[in-house]
Amino acid sequence: MSNENRPEVFDSGNLLVLIFSKWKPLLIITLVAMIISLGISFILPEKFKATVVLFPSQGNNLSRAFLSEQADETKDFLAFGEDNNAEQMLQVLKSDELMYALEKKFNLLKYYSLSDKWDKYYLFKGYYNDLFVYDITQYESIEIIVYDQSPAKASEMANEAAHLADSLFQGIIKQRSQKAFKVVKAQYDSSLAVANKLEDSMNYYRNLGILNWEYQVKELTSGYADAEVKGNAEAVKNISDKLKVFSQNGKGYWVIANELENNFKWMKQVKTSYEEAKVNAEQTIPSFFVADKAIPADRKTYPIRGLVVAGGTLAALLISILALLIANRLKTLKKK
Average pLDDT over residues 86-92: 86
Cβ pair 201, 256 in contact under 8 A: yes
Cβ pair 297, 151 in contact under 8 A: yes
For residue 221, is pLDDT > 60?
yes
The pLDDT value recorded for residue 80 is 44
For residue 327, is pLDDT > 70?
yes
**Which H/E stretch holds residue 55?**
strand 48-56
Q: What is the pLDDT of residues 248-295, one digit of tens each?
A: 777 777 877 888 888 888 887 887 777 777 776 666 666 777 788 888
Q: What is the pLDDT of residues 109-126, one digit of tens each?
A: 999 899 888 989 999 999
Q: Do you know the residue count of the chain?
A: 336
Average pLDDT over residues 43-68: 69
CA-derived radius of gyration, the chain: 42
When comparing pLDDT for 159 and 182, which is higher? Answer: 159
CA 234 – CA 239 distance, rounded (Å):
9
For residue 334, is pLDDT > 60?
yes
The domain limits of the chain are 16-44+305-336, 179-282
Q: What is the pLDDT of residues 9-29, one digit of tens each?
A: 445 556 677 667 766 777 787
Centre a 10 Å sphere on the Cβ of residue 320 and count the other Cβ atoms it contains.
Answer: 19
Average pLDDT over residues 190-215: 77
For residue 160, is pLDDT > 90?
yes
Average pLDDT, the chain: 76
Q: Report the Cα 328 to chain-centroid distance in Å.
A: 62
48-56 and 132-136: which strand pairing? Answer: unpaired
For residue 205, is pLDDT > 60?
yes
Half-sphere exposure (Cβ direction) of 69: Cα atoms closer than 13 Å: 2
Q: What is the pLDDT of residues 228-251, one digit of tens each?
A: 777 777 776 776 767 777 777 777
